[in-house]
């Protein structure tokens, strides 16, 4: 991580919600999801919040060797957003504790505040992380189900 990675970093990210990011598209294998309203899905919204945090800090990391993974999310989803509206996500890095990064996050769809909360990410070395995940996958193949 670079010396420029400090609390106070802010970033704004805009995203036009397509039909492919609505609730029925979240798990098309689920008849329950498919039957639900075509509004921006909470699962995709969380991903958008993460994306904005990643964009905020990547210039301050030794990308792509250093990356971040999400470790905690505590956000509201307080208003429905139909496809075609543009969501603006605003994030601020508010704390750094070793390799843990804490962000305040907020999203607005041009009509309503749709989300507010906190997100934590952890800085990883991609090669080391991939090695551990691959080892876990190998171990998991040997477990009888």
Q: Look-up: residue for tokens 């969380």? A: 46
Q: Please compute, for residue 131, the number of CA atoms within 13 A of its CA located in the half-sphere on the CB side.
A: 5
Distance of CA 62 to CAs 11, 36, 59, 90, 93, Å?
A: 18, 42, 8, 23, 17
Catalytic residue among 13, 22, 50, 81: 50
Distance, in Å, from the CA atom of 127 to the CA atom of 137, rounded to the nearest integer, reads 15
Catalytic residue among 42, 60, 88, 92: 42
42 is catalytic: yes
Catalytic residue among 22, 66, 68, 77: 77
88 is catalytic: no
Distance, in Å, from the CA atom of 93 to the CA atom of 109, rounded to the nearest integer, reads 22
Catalytic amino acids?
42, 50, 77
């Amino acid at each position: 991580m670079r010396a420029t990675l400090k609390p106070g970093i802010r970033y704004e990210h805009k995203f036009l919600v397509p039909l492919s990011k609505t609730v029925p598209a979240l798990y098309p294998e689920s008849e329950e999801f498919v039957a639900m309203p075509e509004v921006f899905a909470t699962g995709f919204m969380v991903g958008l919040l993460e994306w904005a945090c990643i964009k905020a800090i990547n210039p301050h990391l030794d990308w792509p060797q250093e990356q971040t993974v999400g470790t905690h999310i505590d956000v509201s989803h307080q208003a429905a957003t139909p496809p075609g509206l543009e969501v603006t996500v605003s994030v601020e890095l508010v704390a750094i504790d070793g390799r843990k990064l804490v962000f305040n996050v907020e999203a607005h769809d041009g009509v309503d505040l749709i989300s507010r909360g906190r997100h934590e990410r952890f800085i990883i070395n991609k090669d080391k992380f991939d090695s551990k995940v691959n080892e876990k996958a190998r171990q998991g193949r040997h477990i009888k189900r």
